[in-house]
Amino acid sequence: MGKAHIQEAIEKVVERGDKAFIPYIMAGDPDISQLKEQLLFLEKSGATVVELGIPFSDPVADGPTIQEAGKRALNSGTTVKKVLEALSSFRDEISIPIVLMTYINPLFKYGLSQFFKDSQAAGVDGVIIPDVPLEQRPLIDEHMNRTDIALIQLVTLTSPDHRIKRLAQASEGFLYAVTVTGITGARSAVSENLESFIYSLKKHSNVPVMAGFGISTPEQVKEISSLGDGVIVGSRVVDLLHQGKREEITQLIQAAVGTPASH
């Protein structure tokens, strides 16, 4: 479990000539009782790692689709504690790494030390906290360093070179390359600067580079994953899961990782 688990899972896929795929889902959408089955479905469909959102009332990095999913999860009574309890109860039945995506407020409320301790016990491999910039990382380091949990950094198209270098070197598990400027959500076109952006990240990073935000079709999955080590797809997966269109989720995953039969 932990940092090495994430990195090894991605590298294993890349070494066999495919690309990694990380779907994002919202924990507790529509209800926490469905989380185990959702994760098992994603693993069976070929997901490399799962990014699991914890619902929060003020999600600054999320677009409308994920905000709505967060509201549904909050309305069904989902909390940080319930997510970690649910994971603890079935974690040994799921072999792929799990990364939590959350914000700093719920963690302060929960207690930082307790959060990392309970996350480690629940089999969480990594965390993404988009509202904790690199400069504020000491806030959580002392608590996180007692665990083997990876802190995954986000790096954007607008980050200056010196910052890209620092973020790339600080990230654990993988480096999250944000492929659009703005919030999450499906986009129809891909930025023309993306290739040079991902190339510069690959040059500085000791961990795999995964691209995410705005990827919504199998064609985009193929195109963008070819630039780095793989892709992260959130809003589109959340939408399809909500609509019960699971076959389309499988198609998105397999556009990167290939079909299970070819593994």
Q: What local confidence, expressed as pLDDT, does residue 59 receive?
A: 79
pTM for this predicted structure: 0.94
Q: What tens digit of pLDDT does each residue of 23-47 get?
A: 999 999 999 999 999 999 999 999 9
On the question of pLDDT at 163 being above 90, the answer is: yes
Per-residue model confidence as pLDDT tens digits over 219-232: 999 999 999 999 99
Closest by CA to 176, choosing from 222, 217, 130, 134, is 130
pLDDT the model gives residue 261: 52
Most trustworthy range by pLDDT among 149-153, 157-161, 193-197: 149-153
Residue 185 has a pLDDT of 59
The strand pair at 98-101 and 175-178 is best described as unpaired
Residue 165: predicted pLDDT:
94
Q: Say if residues 102 and 56 touch (Cβ distance below 8 Å).
A: yes
Give the tens place of pLDDT for each residue, 165-177.
999 999 999 999 9
Q: How far is CA 103 from the centre of its chain?
A: 13
Does position 190 have pLDDT exceeding 70, yes or no?
no
Calculate what percentage of the chain has a pLDDT beyond 70: 94
Q: String of b and e for 11-30 (b: at least 16 CB within 10 Å)?
A: bebbeeebbbbbbbbbbbbe
Structure tokens at 177: 């390359």
Active site residues: 51, 62
Q: Would you say 139 and 132 are in contact if contact means Cβ atoms under 8 Å apart?
A: yes
Q: Which residues contact 206 (CB under 8 A, 6 or more apart)?
A: 168, 169
Q: pLDDT-based confidence at 213, cuts 50/70/90?
A: confident
Q: Delineate the domains of the chain, giving CATH numbers in brackets.
A: 3-152+226-258 (3.20.20.70)
The confidence score (pLDDT) of residue 214 equals 85
Question: Exposed, middle or buried: residue 46 (CB in 10 Å: 0-12, 13-18, 19+)?
Answer: buried
